[in-house]
Amino acid sequence: MNGATPHPSVASLQAQFGAAIGRTLVSCGDTIVVVARERSHDILQWLQHTPTEAYDYLTDLTAVEYRDRERPLEVVYQLWSLSRKVSLRVKVELPKDQPLEVNTVTDLWRAADWLEREVYDMFGVTFRGHPDLRRILMWDTYAEGYPLRKDFPLRGRFSRAEQIRQVLAGAPEANYSLEELSIAEAYKSVPADMRQRLERQGRPQGVE
């Protein structure tokens, strides 16, 4: 299967974006295209909107860090075209000597919202333009870092006692938005910074 038939999107991407398209490879039958970080949003938008491509479904958005410390961290977009029944994997490389930042794709696929929050939570990648970039799996006050990074110890950075202390000292309600809580009374007991964030997003404020 390896490289039997070249993926048609690769040639059209190279024709359209030229040098912004990096190396391409086929792995286990899946075509992978590495694209330039600065053009990633344009390229993904083009892949979604162009009728001949029509990658309208974001199957997954995740990230990979390799054991080789020199290798950049990769943000992975797994795309699928519902109409054409074709998949394509797009990768953006984030070198570790620069801030781990990439443009959000939440404006293209709403599904990217929580996926980007998960990548932010686990890898510390900042998605520029994300409407609500905060931790999703770990709690808001989690202070040990980004658990899926290779330099993160398996058991966490703090002692077990410190982990228990921090987690029991926090209010469980503080982990959730008002919508998730569905009790507006909790508005007064959430931390001030979370309250400000809720206000910024125009979420309903507490009932008196």
Partner 1 sequence: MDVTSEAEAGLITSPNWITARMDDLVNWSRANSLWPASFFPACCAIEFMATAASRYDLSRFGMERLAYSPRQADVLICAGRLPFKLAPVLRRIWDQMPQPKWAISVGACASTGGIFDTYAMVQGIDTIIPVDVYVPGCPPRPEGILYGILLLQKKIKGETFLDPALRVEQLTDEQGMFLPPAIVDEISEPFGNSVHQTRSA
Question: How big is the chain by its Cα radius of gyration, in Å?
Answer: 20
Contact region with partner 1 (CB under 8 A), list: 20-28, 30-38, 95-103, 161-169: 161-169
Closest to 114 (Cα-Cα) out of 103, 127, 102: 127
- 159 counts as binding partner 1 under rule CB under 8 A: yes
Closest to 198 (Cα-Cα) out of 178, 184, 181, 180: 178
Q: Which is nearer to partner 1, 95 or 145 (CB)?
A: 145
- In three state form, how does the secondary structure of 28-75 look? CCEEEEEECCCCHHHHHHHHHHCCCCCCCEEEEEEEECCCCCCCCEEE
- 170 counts as binding partner 1 under rule CB under 8 A: yes
**What is the DSSP pairing of strand 73-81 with strand 86-94?**
antiparallel
What are the tokens at 81?
């075209």
- 153 counts as binding partner 1 under rule CB under 8 A: yes
Which of 1, 4, 19, 154 binds partner 1 (CB under 8 A)? It is 154
Cα(172)–Cα(179) distance, integer angstroms: 15
Residue 160, amino acid: R
Which of 163, 177, 181, 186 binds partner 1 (CB under 8 A)? It is 163
- 9 counts as binding partner 1 under rule CB under 8 A: no
Which of 172, 199, 201, 204 binds partner 1 (CB under 8 A)? It is 172
- 70 counts as binding partner 1 under rule CB under 8 A: no
- 151 counts as binding partner 1 under rule CB under 8 A: yes
Find the shortest distance in angstroms from Cβ 206 to partner 1: 20
Where along the sequence are the contacts to partner 1 (CB under 8 A)? 137-139, 144, 147, 150-156, 159-165, 167-172, 175
